[in-house]
């Protein structure tokens, strides 16, 4: 019982740290998740993290919270999901409360405006880095490259809602299933 509580506190602490260090939303947090959960703690591997992250995007709710819940559940079942989720959202609640208290008073200051502009640029860099890592893990052959290109063209040039792109998952299942049958 004592070890379970320690494990739950570790989950809370890990996701509190990720939640505290992540600015820019779910996509910007992927490098932090990878570093903390794969490299530092060994709770998952890159492939499984990518799968969990993808499921987190497809399910209702915030990607960061969904990912924390999945990892927490994997580690310590329902209690783990709760502790990981609470760890992820606690920093946001604290920061948003503090920002709400002072933002109206300082939003017009040039220093604050410049700081937000700098943060936006840094978030773009984090997102690009995450996309490159995801691309290397997900696009592994000609078939996945074709799915990637088709989805990219549909979203960028034709404005297809990304929710419809989830159908690419079905194509991936069919292609992987076909490849497995051929072996």
CB atoms within 10 A of CB 85: 26
Residue 176 included in any domain: no
Arithmetic mean of pLDDT, 103-112: 85
pLDDT at site 180: 60
Question: Per the domain annotation, does 30 fall within a domain?
Answer: yes
C-beta atoms surrounding 67 within 10 Å: 28
Q: Which of 127, 128, 169, 180 is nearest to 147 (CA)?
A: 169
In which domain, by residue range, is 40 found? 2-109
List the end-to-end C-alpha distance of the chain, in Å, as a whole number: 47
pLDDT band at 123, cuts 50/70/90? confident
Give the tens place of pLDDT for each residue, 30-89.
888 889 999 999 999 988 988 888 888 878 878 889 999 999 999 999 999 999 999 999
161: left (phi over 0), alpha (psi -120 to 50) or beta: beta
pLDDT of residue 157 exceeding 70: yes
Asked whether residue 98 is domain-assigned, the answer is yes
Q: Is residue 21 part of a domain?
A: yes
Q: Assess if residue 81 is contained within a domain.
A: yes
> Does 160 fall in a domain?
no
Q: Which residue intervals of 107-166 are DSSP H helices?
A: 110-138, 142-158, 162-165
In whole angstroms, what is the distance from residue 88 CA to residue 12 CA?
A: 7
- pTM (predicted TM-score): 0.64
Count of structural domains, the chain: 1
DSSP 8-state symbol, 28 = G
The answer to whether residue 166 sits within a structural domain is no
Q: How confident is the model at residue 17 (pLDDT cuts 50, 70, 90)?
A: very high
Q: Smallest Cα–Cα separation from 89: which of 35, 16, 13?
A: 16
Question: Residue 182: pLDDT above 70?
Answer: no
């Amino acid at each position: 019982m004592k070890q379970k509580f320690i494990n739950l506190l570790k989950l809370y602490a890990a996701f509190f740290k990720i939640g505290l260090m992540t600015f820019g939303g779910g996509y910007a947090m992927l490098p932090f998740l990878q570093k903390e959960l794969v490299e530092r703690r060994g709770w998952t591997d890159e492939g499984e993290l990518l799968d969990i992250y993808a499921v987190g995007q497809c399910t209702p709710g915030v990607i960061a919270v969904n990912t924390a819940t999945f990892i927490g559940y994997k580690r310590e079942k329902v209690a783990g999901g709760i502790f990981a989720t609470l760890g992820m959202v606690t920093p946001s609640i604290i920061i948003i409360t503090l920002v709400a208290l002072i933002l109206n008073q300082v939003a017009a200051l040039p220093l604050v405006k410049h700081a937000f502009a700098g943060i936006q640029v840094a978030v773009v860099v984090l997102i690009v880095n995450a996309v490159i890592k995801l691309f290397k893990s997900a696009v592994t052959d000609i078939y996945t490259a074709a799915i990637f290109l088709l989805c990219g063209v549909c979203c960028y040039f034709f404005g297809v809602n990304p929710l419809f792109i989830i159908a690419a998952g079905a194509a991936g299942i069919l292609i992987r299933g076909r490849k497995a049958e051929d072996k």
